[in-house]
Structure 1
Amino acid sequence: MSSAAAVFAKGKTALITGAASGVGLAVAKVCASHGMDLHLIDNNESALKEAHSSIQTKAKISTHKVDVSSLSEWAELKSSLSSTKLDFLHLNAGIGANGPWSDNAYFRKIIDVNVMGVVNGLNTFISDFDSNSSSPKAIVITGSKQGITNPPGNPAYNASKSFVKTIAEHLSFDLAKSAPSTSVHLLVPGWTFTGLTRGDAKTKPDGAWAPEQVADFLYQKMSEGKFYAICPDNDVDWETDRKRMTWTMGDVVYERLPQSRWREEFKEEATETMGKMKLGPKQGDAA
């Protein structure tokens, strides 16, 4: 059986949201390097033009200004691509924002883009994937570590990324039965220097990864047949991520208060326990 990365091939067609910059653009360039045709989706038309110009390829590229929170705009996109069948769908578009519990608009904006942007994309294009084709296909959804470890400070964003994690897991399970040639992957970047995270900074901090590193990591994990592509960065390695995720799940298992790692009464215990954790090998690792 070929690896999931076999979808990156000349003649295949990719559609990527949030493709005008950051991780989306970096993944688009990986697709282009393999000769794939590209449909780049973003809500920033001028940035889309710049992204198009930055991609070196002889394959076809089209750009489409779409508000991913609008199902009607997805329907218009589908109609404009009616002669095209997708092989690779990357639902990557997302926003970050902060707001108080009393700010309904903050919650709605985050959910509309980060949650419904993914749901709308799946509703619109799942028919391109939900069949038992022999040709390899793939769907990638971009999540966040905040949707797994749930740190305090941004409940709407964390909840939105927890939602897409759950959606991706269900999609993987369902398509494994109905469309086994379609692989599903949850891409979880670490600290990545993008428009979402950089603020006013002009230079990438030493601890952050570049978007290109995230795209390369996704390709590596797809080559290994992994569903979860949880990226490290230059400050946080994979073992640290594993320990943090393990502690977080322990809040449920051991009936601690939620977000215990950040509560004063648990901080010392959390630090000491994670420091002593001996986690078993990952699937595929040597014992």
Structure 2
Amino acid sequence: MEMTTHPMTRMPTSGSSYEEWNQDKTRRMNIWDSKRFPQNQCPHCNGSGWVWKDWGEGEWAPCSCQSRIQTRKHTENAGLSKSLAKFNLNDFRADQAWQTALLKSTCDYARHPKGFLFICGQPGAGKTHLAAGAFNYILKGGARGKGRSWPDLMAELKAAQNTPDYVRLMDELKGCQILYLDDFLHAVKKQPTTGDLKLAFEIINARYDNDRNPTIITSNLTPSEIAKFDSSLSGRIVEAAGAHMLIIAPDPDRDYRTRKGVEV
């Protein structure tokens, strides 16, 4: 009986180059199956997450799309809203010296996350853009984390009180690799409640005690303003942030929201 070679492993013929043969083999080995890979339509691996490389015996190798998929999964698992997940440090406009200084310090932290990054002060000055951008950058590096706006988190925790979900969420907030809290201690009545302060201290203190786990926080309140409500809470934030405590001085000209209008 005449032996034949499977077309996927057949050696190049005299009329075809190795490159053409390898490309055809890769295509055959990675035929996309919409039922198996509905969420990944990568043109390189056709959704499988693997590419066939080399010739002869060959070998499987992870496709470059896997890092993007992993980052997306980490972002989804972090619970970050779509509005926060879109921020990127590369998109932050640093037209003035104070913006350049903020961006540099934030980038330094994102590259080497340790302790706290606390960005506070003037509303509308880009605090959320910087903090969310740093958080997203760290997630892309493979870290697992949780990200929430403070008002949403308070509503979620209060709704889950006296349930297993409350314990699970608090454990995640205290122990995750990287935590991001946006608009920290924001309150509708301009003053956080006793319950809010108690939850804030429990979360911050746990991360402070746990080798000062990387934590990113934005707030309109400065440390001295937080100290009026709880000096112990403020003190832990200041100590854990160190050089990465960025206070934006009050200045209406730094509020980009008020600059969007057009004078007529």
TM-score range, shorter chain: 0.3 to 0.5
1 or 2 for the larger relative contact order (CA 8 Å, sep ≥6)?
A: 2
Question: Quick check: which has more Rg, 1 or 2?
Answer: 2
TM-score of the superposed pair, with normalisation by structure 2: 0.34
TM-score by length of 1: 0.32
